[in-house]
Amino acid sequence: MPQPSAPRRNPGRPPRISREEIIEAARRIVTEGGVGRLTMRRLATEVGSTPMALYHHVRDKEELLVLLLDDYAARTLRRSELPAHPRERIVAAATAIHEALVACPWIVEVLTADDLMSTSALWFVEQIVDGLVACGLSLDRAVHGYRSIWYYTAGEIVVRTTAARRRADGDPPTYREQVFADLDSNELPRLAQAADRWGALTAEDTYQDGLRALVDGLLVSR
């Protein structure tokens, strides 16, 4: 007598996930491994779902990165009363952006694409552009001025973060360190004089000094 067939298993649907869970998992991935490690497939594995299920919440990786930017900016960039003087307002707003990004340098990697931007951070951009206009620049020149400030800010963070990572990992001396150890003092007297202190000097946090010098230069050009 034939045995009755076993009932077929219904695999069921993947567990329901929320956009908040997706953002939290994506944040873990980029914090631990960088933006390059973030893929929809890996994210789906992280939240115990499927890539197809993710697309009900986010259109693609680019939209996901924008959501990450907004999430981070909303949690870290707090609007506060800025100085009344427009020059100091520019410096304060740029410094606030810098401090937020230093704490999470992977965001700079995303923002340097120059076409992804957090709407939550636009208030600070507005303060910089408006401050430059209040100091006498045309709106077009003010936008160019903001771009210069942003390039300086992003570049400073990328260089400092990379250098700090090398020091923390105990990497062997860099090519620059090897070259500086044997400089010709007749050909490059100033560099040779500073060679033994170059690493320590360039590791100092001089962001605000550079920022103020940059802003002063932008305002002189008006």
Q: Domain 80-220 adopts which CATH fold?
A: Tetracycline Repressor; domain 2 (1.10.357)
Q: What is the pLDDT of residue 116?
A: 61
- Average pLDDT over the chain reads 84
106 or 185, greater pLDDT = 185
Q: For the segment 14-38, what is each residue's pLDDT rounded down to a tens digit?
A: 557 888 899 899 988 988 888 888 8
Q: Are 17 and 53 in contact (CB under 8 A)?
A: yes
Residue spans of alpha helices (H) in 3-138: 19-33, 40-47, 51-54, 61-76, 86-102, 106-111, 122-134
Indicate whether 4 pLDDT > 50. Answer: no
pLDDT band at 193 (very low <50, low <70, confident <90, very high): very high
Arithmetic mean of pLDDT, 48-58: 87
Helix (H) or strand (E) holding 169: helix 139-169
Q: What is the pLDDT of residue 9?
A: 42
Q: How far apart are CA 191 and CA 54, in angstroms?
A: 54
Q: For the segment 149-192, what is each residue's pLDDT rounded down to a tens digit?
A: 999 998 898 888 777 766 666 666 777 888 888 899 999 999 99
Which of 125, 134, 122 lies closest to 87, judged by CA? 134
Which of 177, 150, 181 lies closest to 163, judged by CA? 177
Residue-range domain boundaries for the chain:
80-220
Phi-psi region of 38 (alpha: psi -120 to 50; beta: other; left: phi over 0): beta
Q: How far apart are CA 39 and CA 104, in angstroms?
A: 19
Least trusted range by pLDDT, from 18-32, 115-129, 194-208: 115-129
Token pair for residue 158? 């990328």
* Lookup result for tokens 């986010």: 58
Highest mean pLDDT among 60-64, 65-69, 122-126: 122-126
